[in-house]
């Protein structure tokens, strides 16, 4: 399972290191509102858009960031998708990392490596040759998993025809039920109430009564899966979150993002001071408005705008930091070039999360600069090139 998480980190590195190359010869970039990849690729494919469809054969890895993503083609290496909704009907030769509100691995889909799935609703009807780690609201399995399963979800449902060859470790609000026609060859460990309870499915009970030890020798606890060598799921969540929000912002508002980034990069100190003042004063002013009846609507609108600003502040500051870090290369020459530079900075910031105190301090500074830069942009609003 660690290989699956490392595949996600490696995919982020590809996106980041591509910004350092003199030309994007090692990757095919696709950007736009609606992106369809129908042409075969000899190396890595990176697609950013509102709706992304990958229908072709990719000889390397594929990275998709979108609102909706559909993969019906073949990816020879790893696949990472960050989207609102992801549908997989094709084949992946390596590991898969899917982060989405809704994940649907349909019947006929094949993953030859491990699968890491983070979503609100996860449906697995295909085949996974390796281990599966799932974190989501609901997980439904109707396909075949040849390795172990480690699931943290509100509900785990096995449908008739589901076949899990390895062990199952499940943490959730409902105990796992095994319907007729579903098979688990390994052990089942349920942690829903904080107590570990072991069961055996489709095996000779006598073969597994050796003091509770796992005779298969390769069972991984949830801690090892979600807290591997690079410092935990928080690091990858930070990276994919920054990439997703930043990419969507730039696709929808390229001019505004460029303008805000330019303002922050030109004067980061004052931007951070403004951001700190806003961080403190806006909540205080909202509380003051709540005291008066006529001020309640103002407080609600202001509170909504405040939360929205907090969500986009760090990605906006990330674009500014990307401009400062790569300024020796000159200004970005295309949307793809700007996204690559931003991805490089996100990678650096993600690694900094491993350093105690430093990671939090850096994120706080980015938040302050982003807030200040956003407000300054809203006040001055001038035309600027989209790149």
**Domain edges within the chain:** 1-186, 240-379
Place of tokens 């295309």: 334
CA–CA separation, 368 and 31 (whole Å): 29
Per the DSSP assignment, residues forming a β-bridge with 156 are: 139
Between helices 296-325 and 335-352, what is the axis angle to 10°? 100
Strands 197-200 and 187-190: antiparallel
Cα separation of 166 and 36, whole Å?
A: 37
DSSP E strands: which ranges in the chain? 27-37, 44-54, 57-58, 62-71, 74-75, 79-88, 91-92, 96-105, 110-111, 115-124, 127-128, 132-141, 144-145, 149-158, 163-164, 168-171, 183-184, 187-190, 197-200
Quick check: pTM over 0.75? Answer: no
By DSSP bridging, strand 91-92 and strand 110-111 are parallel
pLDDT tens by residue, the chain, 387 residues: 434 433 343 343 334 333 333 333 467 888 778 899 999 988 889 887 788 999 999 998 898 877 889 999 999 999 988 777 899 999 999 999 887 778 999 999 999 999 988 777 899 999 999 999 887 778 899 999 999 998 887 778 899 999 999 999 888 766 677 788 899 999 988 775 443 444 444 444 444 434 444 433 333 333 333 333 233 345 666 777 788 888 888 888 888 888 888 888 888 888 888 888 888 888 888 888 877 767 778 878 888 888 888 888 889 998 988 888 776 566 665 677 778 788 888 878 877 766 667 777 888 888 899 888 888 888 765 444 444
Complete edge-to-edge strand list for the sheet that includes strand 57-58: 57-58, 74-75, 91-92, 110-111, 127-128, 144-145, 163-164, 183-184
Q: Which of 75, 101, 362, 116 is closest to 236 using CA atoms?
A: 116
Measure Cα distances from 129 to 88, 117, 200, 240 in Å. 15, 15, 21, 25
Q: In what order do the strands lie in the sheet containing 197-200?
A: 27-37, 44-54, 62-71, 79-88, 96-105, 115-124, 132-141, 149-158, 168-171, 187-190, 197-200
Apex 77 CA angle, 76 and 78, nearest 5: 135
Question: How much is the pLDDT for 332?
Answer: 62
Residue 279 confidence (pLDDT): 85
Q: Give the Å distances, CA to CA, from 228 to 1, 3, 4, 16.
A: 9, 10, 11, 21
| Confidence (pLDDT) at 147 | 94
Task: Pick the closest to residue 314 from 230, 267, 372 (CA basis).
Answer: 372
Predicted pLDDT at 57: 94
**pLDDT for 82:** 78
What is the C-alpha to C-alpha distance for residues 149 and 184, in angstroms, rounded to an integer? 10
Indicate the length of the chain as a whole number.
387
- Measured from the Cβ of residue 205, the count of other Cβ atoms closer than 10 Å reads 7
């Amino acid at each position: 399972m660690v290989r699956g998480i490392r595949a996600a980190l490696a995919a982020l590195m590809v996106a980041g290191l591509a910004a350092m190359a003199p030309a994007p010869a090692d990757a095919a970039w696709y950007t736009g509102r609606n992106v369809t990849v129908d042409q075969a690729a000899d190396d890595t494919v990176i697609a950013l858009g509102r709706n992304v469809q990958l229908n072709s054969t990719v000889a390397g890895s594929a990275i998709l960031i979108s609102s909706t993503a559909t993969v019906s083609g073949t990816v020879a290496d790893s696949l990472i998708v960050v989207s609102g909704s992801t549908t997989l009907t094709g084949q992946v030769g390596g590991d898969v990392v899917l982060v989405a509100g809704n994940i649907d691995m349909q019947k006929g889909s094949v993953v030859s490596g491990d699968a890491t799935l983070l979503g609100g609703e996860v449906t697995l009807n295909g085949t996974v040759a390796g281990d599966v780690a799932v974190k989501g609201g609901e997980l439904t399995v109707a396909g075949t998993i040849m390795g172990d399963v480690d699931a943290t979800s509100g509900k785990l449902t096995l449908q008739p025809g589901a076949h899990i060859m390895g062990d199952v470790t499940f943490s959730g609000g409902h105990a796992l039920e095994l319907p007729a026609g579903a098979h688990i060859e390994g052990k089942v460990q349920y942690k829903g109430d904080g107590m570990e309870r072991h069961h055996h499915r489709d095996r000779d009970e006598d073969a597994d009564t050796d003091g509770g030890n796992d005779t298969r020798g390769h069972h991984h606890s949830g801690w090892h899966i979600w807290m591997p060598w690079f410092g935990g799921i928080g690091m990858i969540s930070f990276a994919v979150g920054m990439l997703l929000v930043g990419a969507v912002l730039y696709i929808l508002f390229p001019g505004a993002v460029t303008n805000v980034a330019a303002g922050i990069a030109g004067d980061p100190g004052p931007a951070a001071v403004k951001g700190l003042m806003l961080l403190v004063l806006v909540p205080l002013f909202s509380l003051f408005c709540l005291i008066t009846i006529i001020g309640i609507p103002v407080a609600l609108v202001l509170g909504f705008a405040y939360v929205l600003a907090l969500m986009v502040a760090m990605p906006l500051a990330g674009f500014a930091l990307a401009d400062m870090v790569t300024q020796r290369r000159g200004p970005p020459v295309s949307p793809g070039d700007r996204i690559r530079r931003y991805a490089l900075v996100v990678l650096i910031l993600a690694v900094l999360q491993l350093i105690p105190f430093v990671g939090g301090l850096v994120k706080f500074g980015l938040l302050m600069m982003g807030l200040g830069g956003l407000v300054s942009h809203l006040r001055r609003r001038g035309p600027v090139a989209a790149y």
